[in-house]
Amino acid sequence: MNFKSEMMSHYNDMLDLKESLGFSRQTYSAHIVQFIEYCSENYLDADTITKEMVDSWLAAHNFKAENTRRLAVINIRHFTKYLRVIGKDAFIPNSDYNVKTKRFVPYIFSDEQLKRLFDSIDNVSPDSETHAEMILPVILRLELCCGMRPNEPLALKIEDVDLKSGDIFIRKSKRGKDRHIIISEDMRHLCEIYDAAAGERDYFFPFWAGKQIPTTWVRYQFSKAWIRSNPDSASKIIPRPYDLRHNFATRTLMRWIDEKHDVMTLMPFLSEYMGHVSLSETLYYVHLLPERLKKSPNIDWDMMKDIYPHQEEEG
């Protein structure tokens, strides 16, 4: 077995292992195949992965952004660690290869911006192929009103949505975690209206030929709707559909504070509803609240600093 065949075999075995542990194969699919092909073409006598190979590929590869390079290093690190575990010699990129990235600051919409945005989304031109005018208003409201990740509504099958109870089953989202969410009566009714018009299908929101809708298509449509509704500011910043999820979290916290609920007691419920892997991911949203709400006595800042000193934005 030559170097390329052997490495591809180990790579596929690693993907099988990751999937068995509840991770998505897609998470580790970026760059490793390209890296193996590069090494097999440029290091003809190679029998293992060396530091020289890693350095050479990183120097030769044209990364469009620092985050892309960071992802490539992470995935190569996962692969070479796996090789070590199965007894193969391989160079593992250390912390010197890490790329420092700036945390993306979520866009927090004003009430007026959301109104204009969804007026634009609700008036998308009819499309006989994608049925964007039917699908987009429902998908994007699920993200805003239920805090769903952009990919989650797109992966829903018919059997995952109980239109009688309003229970939605979200399969294997971040890190393979399943969860149920209960949607509001208004949201359930909107899904019911859409379902009656959509007809027979496998995916709750189907794309061409019944396939799953790509997240890139939704993001493109979202950006167009934002530009239509905010022509003056569109050139400065264009929010992402993911920002709707961020707004769900911050608006939920703001409502709890205004209603004088014990935010810290309710936080685990919000964390579970949003499918966060850890509570620290949910606590991140407290830092996005308006200054007047950050001073609320319903937030235990000492507890947050002691237990979760380094909140990180979740993905």
User: pLDDT tens string for the chain (315 positions)?
Assistant: 799 999 999 999 999 998 888 777 877 877 999 999 999 999 988 999 999 999 999 999 888 778 788 889 999 999 999 999 999 999 999 888 887 666 678 899 999 999 999 999 999 999 999 999 999 999 999 999 999 999 999 999 999 999 999 999 998 777 678 899 999 999 999 999 999 999 999 999 999 888 999 999 999 999 999 999 988 765 578 899 999 999 999 999 999 998 999 888 999 999 999 999 888 888 888 878 887 676 777 776 665 555 444 444 444
- Number of residues in the chain: 315
CATH topology (fold) of 103-315: hpI Integrase; Chain A (1.10.443)
CA Rg value for the chain: 23
54's tokens? 């890693």
Tell me the CA end-to-end span of the chain in Å, nearest whole number.
Answer: 39
- DSSP-H helix ranges across 66-211: 66-85, 111-122, 132-146, 185-198
pLDDT at 102: 62
Question: pTM for this one?
Answer: 0.68
CA dist 132 and 51 (Å) reads 49
